[in-house]
Chain A
């Protein structure tokens, strides 16, 4: 008999499973990216895939992000379901034009559906420095026509990737590198998806809502455990999908708690937290009992050296301090 522990998979394995199952389920699904073939990808997510699915369904590309994202768009419009690996989300800047001008606009302009996924391993805490640790979701948050997801758990990672692959639109899938091997869970044996556009309350609480996504969900959960001893009860809303934003879940939580903290690892200015804070000011002003606080990275590139990166990244202590401040209102 297998034990529960034996069935545990990491966040990374959950992504790999989703790809494998979708490729087996639908022959239109194929993978493109740098070094994803015999090497198995920079993070080994596609290890063994080429052997199983062949050279054309696990397609090693030239070092050419704009070129292969463009190619994925063309293939998607012809009825394929490409999943592009961006190796590091930072390199997505090279493909920015193809994503925002071509993929995002084709359906709106002339009705062509572009069912593709771009996997973008993002985030810091891995000493990657300015070009291997970015959180570029804000760049695309402002670009109509794209869907954006950012899972925080193995369950969501698998379910959202499957949903993204089945979605008829271009979806950017931000997978957090810090979580790859640190977060584990037992997943259901049967096929499941996590619907795009649905946030989840990862912890219920009555005092303060923390709206977050990605790796910082886990910081919020840690902070909640510390704060409960002080009698402060956090409710944690994990967005899971950034576009389309699940406003109902956010508003319902803030209406309940009357206080809100926006928490993300991306830079503060113009980040997703800023947009949600503005929405709350527009829609939930009457029920707010304190200022909407933002916890985010400072407006600098991601630094390399340990003390610099530690200073840069949001910490549990930041959440605890913000919650105490809000609780005093």
Chain B
């Protein structure tokens, strides 16, 4: 079906806002990559280059009180939840103004006030946690929903299966995304699983599953909306496989030579930002001036973020001792 026809279901402002977040994600991550190449960032840099539409699509579909438990290529979701570019860069620089105050790095960003459950490197660990958040909502009769995501590799872990099973048995209001970017670090999909589509895994849990074009923000958004609606109305979890391609290495230090160049060339033609622009033009929403304005705005915000992060203080060494245990006033009401 023609994309623009489908996207007509979405309000113009929402589509333009998604375009803004796609651009913001791309610009921010490109800036972080540049900082890394200048040697100003220590540790790993994990980006969503070429996959921005997934996080932007699903996070745009949520309401304010909903919760996300993202994985490490969901920068757009952080931004939509209100984590600022400055905070992201501060996190990468190990500054005290990063969401983890220097305790953790890069995309390990969590903030319950903004509905973000912090990512754990042990892939799929947060999927059971997401089911637990959804369990709390269901027990209390709240209409809140949780969206969680993992890569194709993460779906091989036991925690993935334990989470889907429990969510399905108890009909919990959770949506499982799988960002199928075809490589788990260097391991291609066919060495990760014997099935062709990740979505087949959902069948074992009697969970409805759907494949979407992960490079099409409107398609991701609409699929997320349907799944969220299903979750909110008490019908239980949904599994969504977003097919995409990781255009950079696992981390910026990884040249990803194991990925055939032709494959990357092919996927380059399906770049999510380019696709979004085409769609906006087709719908008559994206005149040149509007898109240019968004591009300029995003650049300014990212540069302001770099400045904020660079001017932020580093934590002091002794702060390492703080926060091992929580106090009662930190418990969520």
Counting CB contacts under 8 A, is B208 at the interface?
no
Which residues of chain B from 120 to 155 have a CB within 8 Å of any chain A CB? 120, 122, 125-139, 146
How far, in Å, is B114 (CB) from chain A's closest CB?
Answer: 11
Stretch at the interface among B46-54, B162-170, B224-232, B282-290: B162-170
- A110 B104 Cβ-Cβ under 8 A: yes
Counting CB contacts under 8 A, is A168 at the interface?
yes
- B103 A108 Cβ-Cβ under 8 A: yes
- A111 B332 Cβ-Cβ under 8 A: no
Q: In the assembled complex, which residues on chain B have CB atoms less than 8 Å from the CB atom of A144?
A: 324
In this complex, how many residues of chain A approach chain B with their Cβ under 8 Å: the count is 42
Q: In the assembled complex, which residues on chain B have CB atoms less than 8 Å from the CB atom of A62?
A: 162, 165-166, 169
Stretch at the interface among B1-9, B105-113, B180-188: B105-113
- B332 A79 Cβ-Cβ under 8 A: yes
- How many residue pairs at the A-B interface have CB separations less than 8 Å? 157
- B128 A70 Cβ-Cβ under 8 A: yes
Q: Contact partner of B323 among A56, A108, A114, CB < 8 A?
A: A108
- A98 B125 Cβ-Cβ under 8 A: yes
Q: In the assembled complex, which residues on chain A have CB atoms less than 8 Å from the CB atom of B323?
A: 107-108, 111
Counting CB contacts under 8 A, is B39 at the interface?
no
- A168 B330 Cβ-Cβ under 8 A: yes
Known interface pairs A30-B139, A67-B162, A77-B117. Does A107 touch B122 (Cβ–Cβ under 8 Å)?
no
Q: Contact partner of A71 among B99, B108, B128, B328, CB < 8 A?
A: B128
Counting CB contacts under 8 A, is A78 at the interface?
yes
- A74 B131 Cβ-Cβ under 8 A: yes
Counting CB contacts under 8 A, is B255 at the interface?
no
Known interface pairs A78-B133, A102-B120. Does A113 touch B128 (Cβ–Cβ under 8 Å)?
no
How far, in Å, is A36 (CB) from chain B's closest CB?
Answer: 15
How far, in Å, is A139 (CB) from chain B's closest CB?
Answer: 16
A105 to B100, CA, bound (A): 11
Known interface pairs A69-B128, A74-B129, A74-B133. Does A106 touch B110 (Cβ–Cβ under 8 Å)?
yes
Counting CB contacts under 8 A, is B317 at the interface?
no
Q: In the assembled complex, which residues on chain B have CB atoms less than 8 Å from the CB atom of A78?
A: 67, 132-133, 136-137, 332
Which residues of chain A from 50 to 103 have a CB within 8 Å of any chain B CB? 56-57, 61-62, 64, 66-80, 82, 97-98, 101-102
Counting CB contacts under 8 A, is A25 at the interface?
no
Which residues of chain B from 276 to 333 have a CB within 8 Å of any chain A CB? 323-328, 330-333
A102 to B130, CA, bound (A): 12
Interface residues of B (CB under 8 A from A): 67, 69, 99-100, 103-104, 108-112, 117-118, 120, 122, 125-139, 146, 158-159, 162-163, 165-166, 169, 323-328, 330-333
Q: Please name the 9 residue pairs, one residue from A and one from B, whose CB atoms are nearest each other, closest first.
A: A70-B128, A74-B132, A67-B162, A110-B110, A71-B132, A113-B326, A78-B136, A79-B332, A74-B129
22 contacts between A and B (CB under 8 A): A56-B138, A67-B159, A70-B127, A71-B135, A74-B69, A74-B134, A77-B117, A78-B137, A79-B331, A79-B332, A80-B139, A97-B159, A98-B125, A101-B122, A102-B126, A107-B324, A110-B99, A111-B110, A111-B112, A115-B331, A144-B324, A145-B325
Interface residues of A (CB under 8 A from B): 30, 56-57, 61-62, 64, 66-80, 82, 97-98, 101-102, 105-115, 144-145, 147, 168-169
